[in-house]
Amino acid sequence: MRGCEIFDDPIFMCSLDVEDTELGRSLHQIHDEGTMLAVARILFRGGKGVGRTGILKAVRVARTPVKMQHHAIIVMAMHETIFPMAADPFFLMAGPNVIESEEHIMKMARQIKSVTNQLGLKLIFKSSFDKANRTSAQSFRGPGLEEGLKILEKVKTTFDLPIVTDVHEPYQCEAVGKVADVIQIPAFLCRQTDLLVAAAKTGKVINIKKGQFCASSVMANSAEKVRLAGNPNVMVCERGTMFGYNDLIVDPRNLEWLREANCPVVADITHSLQQPAGRKLDGVGVASGGLRDMIPCIARTCVAIGVDGIFMEVHDNPLKAPVDGPTQWPLRNLEPLLEELIAIAKASKGKEKMDIDLTPVDEDF
């Protein structure tokens, strides 16, 4: 099976059993030579049972083979473009950690979009309306649900950008789903069934961050909770694993094992470098620190392995950022880092599964 790009208007992600769909049958009839167009009706499958039916107007079969899991094609629509899990070379979820002001968020959206447009990357703009899990009760949390969503909606309409933001409680999901294209489940809450189900019922793409305390295998269960709630639009995100009390490590094996969730895999290259509660404050208390200088190292590893998306927090003045300053990537360095990551991703065969040959080697090797 070969990868495909599909062009249409709706915003959705779906996993398709190619054997049971007209799309699958159509693709089987397309020869490997060249690039051919086909019109296909899609039977969406999510969890158990049949979901909604949709029309995709044009299917372009790419020359580059894609690693598939159980004959599933994962596609994701961002406004007019739906790109496969073998996005060329990856999609980007980026923005400041939290909404500091409307003026700041609009500036960041404009500047980040200018970079990704120049590089040809798909951008999903990220920022949080409320940081409910701050280390300290005195920490800045953001403008809150109502005001924050107004600002994110303005970003969406002004810059024609899909939006990702996080939720912490089930009651927030309905309102967030009216603005956000991707709803993010924080790592601490990745197993919370009520939250996953409430998010799933919005029908939006759900990005589940792997808990710092979880094995990658847990994420298959979390993704299945979303599907069983009737929403096949799910992806999972690696964001590091606790290593002692105040440090995180990224185990590259998780980026492969997360494929068992049968959905796109995203790598959070900034939160993965946090040092939770690892920085003592003047006087009393602690705050999270981080290893910003190691972000390129982790990012290079992730794209070489072949992740489908990169998540990163970006700030125009990280030293003054009110939240997670030590792990926000400087806007001034965004373009050169992304240029390097694109080059690595295009050179790597990380999205292709290597066949391991264990037959004995004779003298004629």
pLDDT digits (tens, 9 = 90+) for 292-347: 999 999 999 999 999 999 999 999 999 998 887 788 999 999 999 999 999 999 99
- Residue 70 sits in the same domain as residue 102: no
Mean pLDDT is lowest, of 45-49, 112-116, 151-155, 320-324, for: 45-49
The residue ranking higher by pLDDT, 245 or 334, is 334
Instruction: Find where tokens 């990357």 sit.
Output: 121
Give me the CATH number covering residue 99: 3.20.20.70
Burial of 139 (0-12, 13-18, 19+ CB in 10 A): middle
pLDDT for the residue numbered 138: 63
> What CA–CA distance (Å, rounded) separates 72 from 85?
10
Annotated catalytic residue, options 210, 262, 324, 351: 324
131 catalytic, yes or no? yes
Number of structural domains (the chain) is: 2
For residue 42, pLDDT beyond 50:
no
**358 within domain boundaries:** no
Helix (H, G, I), strand (E, B) or coil at 121: coil
Question: In terms of residue numbers, what domain contains 107?
Answer: 91-347
Structure confidence by residue, pLDDT tens digits, 214-234: 999 999 999 999 999 999 999
Instruction: Find where tokens 């030579």 sit.
Output: 33
- Residue 128 sits in the same domain as residue 250: yes
209 catalytic, yes or no? no
**362 within domain boundaries:** no
**326 within domain boundaries:** yes
On whether the CB atoms of residues 72 and 262 are closer than 8 A, the answer is yes
324 catalytic, yes or no? yes
Annotated catalytic residue, options 113, 126, 131, 204: 131
pLDDT for the residue numbered 278: 55
Helix (H, G, I), strand (E, B) or coil at 155: helix
Rounded to an integer, the average pLDDT of 231-246 is 92
Q: How confident is the model at residue 88 (pLDDT cuts 50, 70, 90)?
A: confident
**In the listed set 58, 84, 110, which residue is the last one of a domain according to the structure?**
84
- Residue 229 sits in the same domain as residue 248: yes
Q: Which value, to the nearest 10 degrees, does the dihedral of the CA atoms of residues 329, 330, 335, 337 take? A: -40
> What CA–CA distance (Å, rounded) separates 56 from 6?
7
**Residue 89: both structure tokens together:** 């070379």
- Residue 205 sits in the same domain as residue 260: yes
**In the listed set 57, 84, 111, which residue is the last one of a domain according to the structure?**
84
Number of H helices, E strands in the chain: 9, 19
**% of residues, the chain, pLDDT over 90:** 59
Return all residues near 274 (Cβ < 8 A) that are at least 6 apart. 240, 248, 288, 289, 290, 324, 326, 327
Helix (H, G, I), strand (E, B) or coil at 125: strand
Annotated catalytic residue, options 8, 97, 204, 231: 97
Nearest to 65 by CA among 4, 17, 8: 4
**In the listed set 84, 114, 136, which residue is the last one of a domain according to the structure?**
84
Nearest to 116 by CA among 96, 97, 98, 90: 90
- Residue 128 sits in the same domain as residue 216: yes
- Residue 72 sits in the same domain as residue 204: no
- The DSSP secondary-structure symbol of 351 reads T
Number of Cβ within a 10 Å radius of residue 5: 18
**Residue 194: both structure tokens together:** 């009520």
pLDDT for the residue numbered 365: 73
Give the total residue count for the chain. 365
Mean pLDDT is lowest, of 64-68, 130-134, 173-177, for: 64-68
Rounded to an integer, the average pLDDT of 9-13 is 34
> What CA–CA distance (Å, rounded) separates 134 from 6?
40
Structure confidence by residue, pLDDT tens digits, 253-290: 999 999 999 999 999 999 989 887 655 656 656 567 88
**353 within domain boundaries:** no
- Residue 9 sits in the same domain as residue 70: yes
Q: What is the pTM of this model?
A: 0.77
Helix (H, G, I), strand (E, B) or coil at 47: coil
**355 within domain boundaries:** no
- Residue 313 sits in the same domain as residue 228: yes
Number of Cβ within a 10 Å radius of residue 62: 14
pLDDT for the residue numbered 363: 85
- Residue 66 sits in the same domain as residue 212: no
**361 within domain boundaries:** no
**72 within domain boundaries:** yes
- Residue 195 sits in the same domain as residue 58: no
Q: Pairing relation of β-strands 122-126 and 265-268?
A: unpaired
Rounded to an integer, the average pLDDT of 147-168 is 97
> What CA–CA distance (Å, rounded) separates 360 from 365?
10
- Residue 133 sits in the same domain as residue 217: yes
- Residue 216 sits in the same domain as residue 142: yes
What residues pair up with 179 in beta bridges, in sequence order? none
**356 within domain boundaries:** no
